[in-house]
């Protein structure tokens, strides 16, 4: 009598098994992928939806690094705590725009003493000399303002408004991959699709001139507790 084969999915929880069994095998269009993702059985909390893009870059070379920031057209469903390092005449405008704290040397001193209850720090260019001493504290946490990330700007109120609403910073990892949140599972399909399309276009536009061959190799979207769904890559490569 033939021995019954063991179900390879048996090691997963019931919800995970059900989702893996209906997971599409082939890449889908962006709109189809969003529909498929929202059909997965979900946990009781509102999951974050994330996009992962594998790029044909060599992360060892600085001229192929990808880093920047983007405001999603439909938001990401999360408010961020923003602080602004700015001159005294900009403090009130930064606070009115949504910063939880704003200031110059006084704010720098507070951070030096250990206060770190914020998600994003923005700074005006003239403040970079003042906050340079915070590099050893903010750098390892990815919180140091940077022109490349769009967190060093003359328009402090605008930066505060965008980041407080969930503006997304992105940068490639050591494997040449980019990860970013594009919303919540509770978002309408159209909103998730708009954010996905906008982010992919942003990464396409950021293609370094030093990159040869296929640039966008693979795209996948997933929820916090779901399998991923492969997305067709843009025809331009």
Q: Are residues 70 and 172 in the same domain?
A: yes
Assigned domain for 69 exists: yes
Q: How many domains does the chain have?
A: 2
Does 175 reside within a domain? yes
Selected residue with higher pLDDT from 236 and 226: 226
110 vs 164: CA distance, rounded Å? 21
**Whether the predicted pLDDT of 235 surpasses 60:** no
Domain boundary among 123, 141, 164: 164
Summarised one tens digit per residue, pLDDT across range 76-90 is: 988 889 999 999 999
**Mean pLDDT of the 158-184 span:** 92
Domain that holds residue 211: 26-75+168-231
Q: Where are the alpha helices (DSSP H) in 113-214?
A: 128-131, 135-138, 156-164, 189-205
Specify if 118 maps to a domain. yes
Per-residue pLDDT band at 214 (split at 50, 70, 90): very high
pLDDT at 46 over 60: yes
Confidence band for 234, pLDDT divided at 50, 70 and 90: confident
Average confidence (pLDDT) over 18-32: 89
- Answer yes or no: do 63 and 39 share one domain: yes
Beta strands at 101-103 and 82-85: parallel, antiparallel or unpaired:
parallel
Report d(CA 55, CA 13) in Å as an integer: 32
User: Tokens representing 155?
Assistant: 């328009």
């Amino acid at each position: 009598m033939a021995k019954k084969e063991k179900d390879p999915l048996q090691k997963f929880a019931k919800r995970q098994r059900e989702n893996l069994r209906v997971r599409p095998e082939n890449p889908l269009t962006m709109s189809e992928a969003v529909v498929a993702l929202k059909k997965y059985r979900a946990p009781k909390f509102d999951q974050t939806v994330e996009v992962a893009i594998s790029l044909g870059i060599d992360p060892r070379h600085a001229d192929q690094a990808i880093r920047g920031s983007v405001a999603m057209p439909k938001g990401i469903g999360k408010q961020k705590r923003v602080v602004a390092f700015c001159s005294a005449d900009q403090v009130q405008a930064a606070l009115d725009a949504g910063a939880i704290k704003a200031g110059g040397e006084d704010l720098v001193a507070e951070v030096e003493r250990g206060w770190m209850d914020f998600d994003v720090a923005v700074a005006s260019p003239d403040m970079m000399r003042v906050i340079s001493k915070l590099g050893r504290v903010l750098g390892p946490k990815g919180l140091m303002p940077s022109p490349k990330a769009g967190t060093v700007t003359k328009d402090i109120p605008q930066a505060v408004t965008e980041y407080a609403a969930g503006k997304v910073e992105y940068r490639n990892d050591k494997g040449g991959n980019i990860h970013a949140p594009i919303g919540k599972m509770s978002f309408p399909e159209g909103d998730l699709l708009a954010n996905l399309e906008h982010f992919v276009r942003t990464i396409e536009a950021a293609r370094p001139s030093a990159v040869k061959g296929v640039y966008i190799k693979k795209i996948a979207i997933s929820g916090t507790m779901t399998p991923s769904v492969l997305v067709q890559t843009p025809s331009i490569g």
